[in-house]
Amino acid sequence: MKLANLRTLTERIQKLKMQKRAGVISESQYEKKLRLVEDEIDDLQATVAAPYADFVAKLGTNISDPKIQAILIKGKEDGNPVDEVIKLTDADIPVQKLQPTQNEIALDKSLIYPLTDVKSAEACLKGGAVAIAGKRIITADGIYIVDGHHRWSQLYAMNKDASISTTDMTSAVIKQPLDFLKVTQMAIAADLKKVPTATAKGSINLITISKVQLKTFVKKTITKDVMKVFVKYGKVKVKSNKDADNLSNLNLEQAANYIWSNIQSMQNTSKPVSGAPKRDAMPQTDDATKWQDIAKSGDLNFIPPFAAESVHKTVTKMLNEAIKKK
């Protein structure tokens, strides 16, 4: 039997006690059925209390289970209805201030578009506050990138002095970057009833790319029209306007050196947070249209180390109270 909500734990234990007292089930049957309830609790706790990468895998596997769905949205029933509220604020944050929370950023997903699309290159190179593709990325505490690493790295590579438009998460109880990832995954799962994933496999990792690899990619990818944009904003110096769209070795070398200088800065000063997972385990918010509302509502039930109270404490307390009364 799957749990409809946490309260059914005590209801089921009370029913078992009544059946035992009435002689419907024997003592051994009672103990066996009680262990099954405890096994469900253990399974629930193993899911929500696992280290981040394991948590994502377990959540994705078990999200169809009503007991997992129920635990995600019981934040207002833990005695403090506001402690688990996530505040979301739109902000423009300098790209150099932000820090990745994943350890893989695909080169092609970051740079193909701004090196081949004039509007994209223009938006990045002109500076100021930029919303890549018209969308805000998700950040936390004004420092950590939660979702939108490729848009951030795209802008950083093209213009390290720019700011990127974000929706920034803050919390009274969450301070660690991987905990923000975990809460975001919980909100997505509560919205979609699944945990979507993406991958950076098959591409060079921008976080560890070499100078030769980066410059080779830029030189073979940049178009003539985008080269004009580089000239327009002074990133490539030419002797005359006739040379503005010229993919000469001189122009290509200047463009490649410019981008490499930005990537080098990113690699040196914007290193991934400690324990940063692969892209496969990262939150994917694009299809979750309600996740922000769920996060803001306080309905999400955080787990250790997210809050003072925890799923473990809540469930264990309910179980112990029921057993004491048998």
Q: pTM here?
A: 0.79
Those residues whose C-beta lies under 8 Å from the C-beta of residue 185, and which sit 6 or more positions away, are: 55, 56, 59, 195, 283
Domain ranges of the chain: 7-82+299-324, 87-281
In order of 107, 114, 130, 137, 178, the CA distances from 96 in angstroms are 18, 19, 14, 15, 20
b vs e for 262-301, b when ≥16 Cβ sit within 10 Å of the residue's Cβ? bbeebeeebebbeebbebebbbbbeebeebbebbebbbbb
d(CA 221, CA 186): 38
If one compares 66 and 278, the residue with the highest pLDDT of the two is: 278
Count CA within 13 A, CB hemisphere, residue 284.
Answer: 14
d(CA 60, CA 197): 9
pLDDT digits (tens, 9 = 90+) for 175-227: 899 989 988 998 998 899 899 988 767 789 999 999 999 999 999 999 999 99
Helix-then-strand count for the chain, H and E: 13, 5
pLDDT digits (tens, 9 = 90+) for 97-109: 999 999 999 999 9
d(CA 288, CA 44): 23
d(CA 236, CA 234): 5
pLDDT digits (tens, 9 = 90+) for 266-294: 999 999 999 999 998 999 999 999 999 98
Residues in a beta bridge with 129: 163
